[in-house]
Structure 1
Amino acid sequence: MTVDPFAPAALGPLRPRNRLIKCATFEGRTPDALVTDELIDFHREVAAGGVGISTVAYCAVSGEGRTDRHQIHLRDEAADGLRRLSDAIHSEGALAAAQLGHAGPVANSISNRAAALGPGRIPAPMGMALTKALDADGIATLTRAFADAARLAVDCGFDALEVHCGHNYLLSSFLSPLLNHRRDGYGRTVEGRARLAREVLEAVRDAVGDQVAVWAKLSMFDGVGTPGRGRGGHPWNGLNIDQACATARLFEADGYLDAIEPTAGSSLLNPMYLFHGEPPRAEFAGAFHGAMRAGLKAAGPVFLRYYPYRDAYLLPLARELRRSVSMPLILLGGITDRASMQTALDEGFDFVAMGRALLREPDLPLRIRADPTTASRCVHCNLCMPTIYSTTRCPIRAGEVPDPL
């Protein structure tokens, strides 16, 4: 039987109005690490555009867990704004999700005025420093921080939580054999490298109970080495699909999650593997100053690689995950029209997530529902990527004359 992407569907205890999720993409609208009217307007517009769930991105569980000091830090001071934000999303008929994360080696220690954290002493290039290795006390503190942040988000009206285990953020850096060289119980094997994420997921679920949905964004491939099977032991390989499938099976057996959102690429090592399409090298370098700008100009062809865009481009890897677990999965990457939505659902994925296409057209879901032949206006130029350092937007849309009413 064909599954309708626009029909209500169950996600844990929730029943969003459809199977479309606005994925977490940093909005660049929190200069003081607090919710602003601009952030509320951004999510209100997306919710009014027809998604079932709108995900607020980069809600850091601690101050040093931000990629820089301009991101939301989940603390009591942020509560009033978070309530206004969830209320605004609800007012448009959508549910509100918060992405809980810790940037780890992706954090800018200079901006945050705090050391970046990692599984060991590894480069944290945004702060031009090495990470501080988490010890037992640090792991306990981190786990409590995730639990406290989860409880705060739910108390502020959020219906769902996404725990960020992707893109070589802290939990993902522990999962990566390239980055995690620990010899204790948090390293060495797939089970050891997954231990921190599993403990965090348990703490989050214990903190919020079963009245909200919890899913994890899980990397399938870091974009370093080979994504394929049988090569996971090579010293220059990051996380590969074999290891990701094994981690997903552990997550499923633990029972703390309602879904997994497979992703790929690394904010630390290879961001374009997540995005695909044209790499905006000059614009990306132009968003920085000094040594970072010079470094990005020199390393642009290596750091920002070109991967041809195609619809549902993460589907080949995600199929492997789909065969490995029976729990609900959310397909991300190149979902821009009714055909790609239908392909995902027909192959057993339960929800689809949209990102760049909604920057271009926040009302794209409503337009596709009204006319299934509607094509997205997103051209996959990725010029939106460097705008996360100011105000995240589609530059093409920003330069257009609005359609007459």
Structure 2
Amino acid sequence: MKQNYFFILLCVFTLLTSCAGGDDSPIATENTTPAVAKTGKLTGKVMSQNGTKPIGGASVFTFDDKYKIYYTTSDAEGNFTLEAPVGNHTIHIQTGNGSNFRTEISATVKDNETLNLDVSQTKLNQVAKIAYVKGTYDKIEDIIQTLGYTATEINNSDLANLTTIAQYDIIFLNCGSRSSYTSNPALYTVIDANLATFVANGGSIYASDWDVAYLVGGTTNTNNCSLPGGFVPDSKLCSKNIGTSGMVAATVNNAGLTSALGFSTLNIDYDLSQWQKIINYDPNYWEVLVKETSSNDPLMIRSNHFTATGTTTTPIGTTTTFVTVCITLPGNIQISISVPQVLVPYLVALGATVGPCSGSSTSGYIYYTTFHNHASGNIGNAGVILQYVILNL
């Protein structure tokens, strides 16, 4: 009986000890809430190379020691405020995907303090080599120069030499430039093939008005669909030379462009008696950036979806150690930026992908405007749009 009594006491003691928990039971002795990262702020104003023009819509970003991105954009006046982690960092300023225009700044960020960057530090540098073909009606080179950047004049014979154009990152085709070689139509086929190779390997092109013929065929302009020549498939675009002179009310159709410009409507001066109207286009291939307000007809389009079978793999443009990647920000916002190659594996490990967020991974951009880049009168707000084109190719 005595033994049973002690046995019962032992069982009760064991049960109480088990319920109270032993040495192996977790004990919450401290706050496990993750520490809030210490940050400061960087402010500045993104300016063109010569310091005369504010640049809106520029990407401004840096990374912490775990490769988390801190990101913002400049407003229409070029101003930005970037929250950044405490410490010594490289601050990146870029337009487009950063492959053609970018600046890197070393800065020390202090906890809960604001560092104002001088405008001499925040000028957007030209990385790309730029060429243009002289036109009859346009002078995009003038707009390039007003920003403080440089471009080399080439001609249609140069376009017929792949080795020559492969050294450039961007080629501007001024309206009327195609007509300069109508006396030698044999060049058409060669130039079309070279431009296809150029864009398929990452080179970018801007063409205005009549020079849509470089894209879809024709000679000085296009008066019908599916003309011989060109390098963009006929199913993707058709433009006819049926526009009439006058002011056209237009609407900016892209949120990023609107933010960069600071306006969403404008009047565009079509100063020639005939200009190219876009009749048909593939909306999955082209993005409409500016449209006619009353009819919704596209006036400015772009694409980086170009692919072509049979084109050779050719190195295009400036040799660089930067790589374009796509990063997803909070809110499922995707951005295409260029980063030093050494960062790529770490960013990919965090979910980034190599290449731009949309389009073909190897395609450059094609921009086309039905309006001129250097009208005989005042081009007004269209001039600001064309500055955006230059910096975002």
State the TM-score, normalized to the length of structure 2.
0.28
- Which of these two proteins has the greater Rg computed from alpha carbons? 2
Which structure: greater helix fraction? 1
State the TM-score, normalized to the length of structure 1.
0.28
Which structure: greater strand fraction? 2
